[in-house]
Amino acid sequence: MSDRYDPWAGAEWNDPHGFDESEDLGGATSTWSTPDPEPGSPLPPFRPSLGLQRTRFAIDLPDASTATVDVDHTWGRASLYLDGRHLRTRDMPVRFALGSDGIEVAASRYGMERIHLISADGDRRRLDPVPGTPEYLRAKLSRRHPGVGRALAVCAVIVLTINLILLAPQVLELVTRSSLWADHLTPFVSPVALPAWANTVLTVTAGLAATERALTFRHHRLLDAETDGIES
């Protein structure tokens, strides 16, 4: 599943929030540049060694079946399995239909943004990380050592706040000095001028902080704005 696939060729549903919905779990057919797992093929074991590339979540459904979503961060794709059997693979963000319910899946370059079961009445339940995944290990750390978990969360906020204060003015100066804006606006002069090595350190630490927040499903529109804009 590490090869790049062509887009799904079946019918699509356009959600105003950016989610694409599979109309049903067995209806459409697809054409891939590399074959996807055959319908009904078994869910392979999760290998923790691939934790930087993949993750996996599961949830028990009202009909006593289990839905599992396998996420490939490398290619931005999610695969839906029902009771351990493959149903469909789509580009993220995606909304997999499960009768009148659905599973919404979205990810950033740092981790999951959304992995929820949405019921017909609007109830939302987040899927549980599968043992061995980075999200499961991070949650396990907080359960066993709540003080350490809280300290990591606080450090991530501090790092991103410093990152926003120091990097944002420099980025604004670069933007206002571009040819697109220079003819219309007086270029902004940043009060902060850091050497390249310091900006590199800030960028790397901000990426680590963003990963920590993604593993715990935390996101703030302002606090995470800088890392949301960093190119991978």
Alpha-carbon span 94 to 29, nearest angstrom: 16
Within this chain, do residues 170 and 74 fall inside the same structural domain, yes or no? no
Structural domain contains residue 139 = no
Q: Which residue has the higher pLDDT, 152 or 194?
A: 152
Within this chain, do residues 173 and 217 fall inside the same structural domain, yes or no? yes
Tens of pLDDT, residue by residue over 121-155, are: 888 999 999 999 999 999 999 999 999 999 999 99
Collect all residues with Cβ–Cβ distance below 8 Å to 157 and sequence separation of at least 6: 209, 223
Within this chain, do residues 117 and 18 fall inside the same structural domain, yes or no? yes
Within this chain, do residues 64 and 154 fall inside the same structural domain, yes or no? no
Contact (CB, 8 A) for 104 and 110? no
Written as six digits, the tokens of 56 are 């996996």
- Where in the sequence is the domain holding 218, given as residue range(s)? 145-228
Q: State yes or no: pLDDT of 157 exceeds 50.
A: yes
Q: State yes or no: pLDDT of 89 exceeds 80.
A: yes
Q: State yes or no: pLDDT of 65 exceeds 70.
A: yes
Structural domain contains residue 151 = yes
Please name which of 25, 9, 37, 152 lies closest in space to residue 99, comparing C-alpha atoms: 25
Structural domain contains residue 190 = yes
Alpha-carbon span 53 to 158, nearest angstrom: 27
Q: Mean pLDDT over all residues of the chain? A: 78
**Domain tally, the chain:** 2
Check: pTM over 0.85? Answer yes or no. no
